[in-house]
Amino acid sequence: MSLFKELGLSGAMLSNLQQLGFHTPTAIQSLALPDTLAGRDVIAMAQTGSGKTAAFGIPLVERLKPRLFAPQGLVLCPTRELADQVTRSLRELARAQANIKVLTLCGGVPIGPQIGSLSHGAHLIAGTPGRIDDHLRKGTLNLDHCSTVVLDEADRMLDMGFQEVVESILEHLPARHQTLLFSATWPAGIRTLSKRFQKEPVDIRAEAEEAGPDIEEHFYEIQPGQELAALKGLLSRYQPESCIVFCGTRKQCDEIAESLNEEGFAALALHGDLEQRDRDSVLVRFANRSCPVLVATDVAARGLDIRALELVINAEPARDPEVHTHRVGRTGRAGEKGRAVTLCTPARAHKINRLEQARAMKAEWGDTASLLAEQLRPAAPAFRTLCIAGGRKDKVRAGDILGALTGDAGIPGTAVGKIDLADHQAFVAVSTEYADKALAQLAHGKIKGRRMPVRWA
């Protein structure tokens, strides 16, 4: 294992990494940084949670010319959540240097403000292919000075049908540039993309990834119609604070979430048909522990950056082994033990056979009868989320909200959980015990001297 010090990083970067708590490089960072820093093309197999963002983020920041107000690095991401996450990480990595602008360019929001931000100059850009392509076509984004392009979760971008758009974006880069490709899996499409757009790429696989994270995995055979009972059994048995239940369809998502709620198991559905606003609210409430169960489709769950999932449940086996691996890989991250459970009806047993072959493993089947006989104990969420009609653009800061709650109201600081700021609204998690008091306080009091409508999210 190498050290950050041995990589020839600037003093400012080294002390910033220290402050961020990055004391030693992760496996992917040790393997990739010497090449990414040297400007070589790299194709790396890496999952979310491996530290891959810094593996490309550190060289992006180290090589920036701060006085050149033109995009010098571009990160393409499959989803808005991932692009937001990458932007946050790049800002953290760049904070030792003054005046570095990192911009997110994603669809689903008006393009006008993005054009405004671009005209003020940005150094680094993270975004989704569709919107980046829109800007290139409109001429509002110019990549003439972009010396590095990163394809993050490249396999997901291909899955989502972004191949053509990605290729057309890559055509806009100057002749001499570095292409970094990060992907959790390496299907044929990734190889083709690499052959076409990379020059003598260095192949990198982090050993830790190959060893696989520490995940305890079980399979249960159920009969059609027993799925809900089995889910309730699992939730009662393991009492997870955070669990994702994967479903095949939007309809199944809604039905399962609704039935779980009816039986007292708090659950939220996440699928592609949600409006962006609702999607944000669902993600915030799941991440801030106001709801322990997220029922999601694969597409909707892509790029979600939610750590410390204790449990992943497949309500039915995934379409193919790769999707299964991707789902299950969401638990057991960052050295923590994870648990994954797959429910399977006899009609779908062949999918488990395929999985066993693809992964050269033997499925361990659990005892369904005991699962169905489990005493039902729905876990009460630790927090409830309040939504305040004022956000970042209204100059509201997390400290203002915390102050309004803990000041006169006498709510202890420890009862206030995560505070998420959006442009024009804010979400605050309050421990259930104090939630009503918090609502009353915010409804009658002021934040920054102003009255702001507040409601349950």
With CB atoms as reference, the residue minimizing the distance to ligand AMP is 53
The single-letter code of the amino acid at 444 is: H
Q: Please report the DSSP string for 354-393 in residue order.
A: HHHHHHT--PPBP-HHHHHTSPP-PPPPSEEEEEES--GG
44-83 residues near ligand AMP, rule: CB under 6 A: 48-54
- Residue 25 interacts with ligand AMP (CB under 6 A): yes or no: yes
Work out how close the CB of 80 gets to ligand AMP at its nearest, in angstroms, rounded to a whole number. Answer: 15
- Residue 302 interacts with ligand AMP (CB under 6 A): yes or no: no
One of 21, 161, 225, 399 touching ligand AMP (CB under 6 A): 21
Nearest to 446 by CA among 410, 377, 384, 396: 396
Residue with tokens 């209204």: 394
- Residue 201 interacts with ligand AMP (CB under 6 A): yes or no: no
Number of CB atoms found within 10 A of residue 116's CB: 10
Distance in angstroms (rounded) separating the CA atoms of residues 52 and 152: 9
3-state helix, strand, coil split of the chain in percent (to 5) is: 40, 20, 40
- Residue 220 interacts with ligand AMP (CB under 6 A): yes or no: no
Nearest to 229 by CA among 251, 256, 254, 267: 256
Work out how close the CB of 57 gets to ligand AMP at its nearest, in angstroms, rounded to a whole number. Answer: 8
Work out how close the CB of 106 gets to ligand AMP at its nearest, in angstroms, rounded to a whole number. Answer: 18
- Residue 22 interacts with ligand AMP (CB under 6 A): yes or no: yes
- Residue 139 interacts with ligand AMP (CB under 6 A): yes or no: no
Task: For ligand AMP, give the closer residue by CB, 51 or 321.
Answer: 51
Using CB atoms within 10 Å of the CB of residue 249, give its burial: 0 to 12 exposed, 13 to 18 middle, 19+ buried.
exposed
Work out how close the CB of 213 gets to ligand AMP at its nearest, in angstroms, rounded to a whole number. Answer: 12
- Residue 29 interacts with ligand AMP (CB under 6 A): yes or no: yes
Q: Residues with Cβ < 8 Å from 201, sequence gap 6 or more?
A: 40, 41, 42, 43, 179, 181, 194
Task: For ligand AMP, give the closer residue by CB, 336 or 374.
Answer: 336
Task: For ligand AMP, give the closer residue by CB, 88 or 101.
Answer: 88
Work out how close the CB of 25 gets to ligand AMP at its nearest, in angstroms, rounded to a whole number. Answer: 5
Query: In the complex, which residues of this chain contact ligand AMP (CB under 6 A)?
Result: 21-22, 25-26, 29, 48-54
